[in-house]
């Protein structure tokens, strides 16, 4: 994971439903992800707490423990027009999220375990009126992952799955009333990844498929909405360069998300939204502050490729995350 956090994955498809029916923006916590490893093709020097060749597919040493805190500043912006209207509309979501994570390499076994929890606050603002429509705050979904690493003298192969567990019904901010950061449902994400040594450092790729169960969200006073769909396939590639014991890298991913279906007793029939495609790019580094302490800055940008989603035509639909993580390995 990521880590993998896809924090705004549902925003494009939710936008139409929120504006046309509930006007209830939703900040979604994305699925926890992790990557891993266990013994390695001969590699350049790594911190004592790490077995993997790359930072992107981090895997702790056998018996090792990594504790990380990762503050994230997030921003999402949509500019669009609704079918039949020439009025330009926009919506901005800004916030601060703090992620605490634990990574553990099991002893005498090529298995790594990951757990994470997040908390924070996002503000949803309708730029047409420059007034905040509400805040989403609290604890996000819980994330867990298990990864197995298989190695030979040419590459490391990672297989596993991550899960996110919602601890509460989701609640969207609306009419200046407070919402929460829970998705209202659970997901599982099987994945497979590979890394290999290069002349400069390491390179590799990862494929994953996130599967959601039904989510329940309170969209307005006494209005509960059931949401299904939104399963997401992702394919990602990355490359890293190592300078001394510091790593500098970048990744590029294609995300294909299924359409969403919304259902509530107040509607005569279900409302369905279109599937979406997006591209996510990331630039990151791992700086070794001490032999067992790392600093990990990262900038992530996601662009939704769909120019039209349902009855909305978008001129801008993107998300950005700035993060600086600090980790200590034991």
Structural domain boundaries in the chain: 11-329
Neighbours of 287 (CB within 10 A): 13
Q: Which tokens go with 153?
A: 């003298």
User: 3-class SS at 12?
Assistant: helix
pLDDT tens digits, one per residue of 79-112: 888 877 777 888 889 999 999 999 999 998 899 9
H helices of the chain, where?
A: 11-17
Domain 11-329 in CATH: superfamily? monomeric porin ompg (2.40.160.40)
Query: Tokens 């730029």 identify what position?
Result: 127
Q: Region of 33 please: left (phi>0), alpha (psi -120 to 50) or beta.
A: beta
Q: Which tokens go with 7?
A: 């924090």
* Burial class, 161, CB count within 10 angstroms (exposed 0-12 / middle 13-18 / buried 19+): middle
CA angle 93, 99, 105 (to 5 degrees): 145
Q: CA-to-CA distance for 330 and 49, rounded, in angstroms? A: 7
More confident position, 323 or 87: 323
pLDDT tens digits, one per residue of 3-18: 334 334 454 444 444 4
Q: CA-to-CA distance for 23 and 128, rounded, in angstroms? A: 13
- What beta strand segments (E) does 198-292 contain? 201-212, 215-220, 223-229, 232-243, 246-257, 260-263, 271-272, 276-290
Q: Which tokens go with 68?
A: 């990380």
Task: Find all residues with CB under 8 Å of 218, minimum gap 6, and list them.
Answer: 169, 170, 171, 172, 224, 225
Q: Which tokens go with 194?
A: 């590979």
Cα separation values, 210 from 31, 40, 220, 261, 327, Å = 8, 28, 28, 16, 27
The answer to which of 9-13, 210-214, 315-319, 326-330 has the lowest mean pLDDT is 9-13
Query: Tokens 């497979």 identify what position?
Result: 192
- Residue 70, pLDDT above cutoff 90: yes
HSE-CB of 328 using CA atoms within 13 angstroms: 2
pLDDT tens digits, one per residue of 223-245: 889 999 999 999 999 999 999 88
Torsion, Cα 206 330 46 35, to 10 degrees, reads 0
CA angle 301, 194, 199 (to 5 degrees): 85
pLDDT tens digits, one per residue of 254-289: 999 999 999 987 777 788 889 999 999 999 999 998
pTM of the model: 0.83
């Amino acid at each position: 994971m990521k880590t993998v956090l896809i924090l705004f994955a549902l925003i494009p498809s939710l936008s139409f439903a929120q504006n046309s029916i509930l006007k209830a923006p939703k900040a979604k916590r994305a699925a926890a992800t992790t990557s891993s490893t266990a013994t390695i093709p001969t590699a350049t020097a790594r911190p004592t707490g790490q077995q993997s060749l790359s930072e992107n597919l981090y895997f702790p040493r056998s018996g090792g423990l990594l504790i990380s805190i990762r503050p994230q500043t997030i921003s999402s912006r949509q500019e669009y027009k609704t079918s039949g209207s020439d009025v330009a509309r926009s919506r901005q979501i800004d916030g601060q999220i703090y992620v605490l994570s634990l990574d553990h390499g099991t002893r005498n076994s090529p298995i790594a375990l990951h757990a994470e929890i997040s908390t924070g606050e996002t503000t949803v603002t309708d730029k047409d009126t420059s007034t905040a429509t509400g805040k989403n705050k609290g604890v996000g979904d819980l994330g867990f992952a298990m990864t197995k690493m298989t190695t030979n003298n040419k590459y490391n192969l990672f297989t596993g799955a991550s899960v996110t567990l919602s601890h509460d019904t989701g609640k969207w901010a609306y009419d200046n009333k407070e919402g929460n950061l829970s998705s209202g449902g659970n997901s599982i994400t099987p994945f497979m990844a590979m890394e290999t040594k290069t002349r400069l450092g390491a390179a590799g790729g990862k494929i994953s498929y996130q599967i959601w169960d039904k989510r329940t969200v309170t969209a307005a006073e006494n209005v509960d909405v059931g949401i299904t769909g939104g399963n997401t396939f992702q394919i990602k590639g990355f490359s890293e360069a190592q300078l001394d014991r510091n790593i500098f890298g970048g990744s590029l991913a294609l995300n294909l998300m299924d359409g969403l279906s919304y259902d509530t007793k107040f509607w005569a029939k279900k409302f369905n939204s279109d599937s979406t495609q997006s591209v996510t790019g990331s630039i990151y580094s791992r700086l070794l502050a001490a032999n067992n302490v790392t600093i990990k800055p990262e900038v992530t940008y996601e662009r939704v490729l769909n120019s039209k989603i349902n009855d909305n035509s978008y001129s801008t639909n993107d998300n950005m995350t700035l993060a600086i993580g600090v980790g200590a390995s034991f």
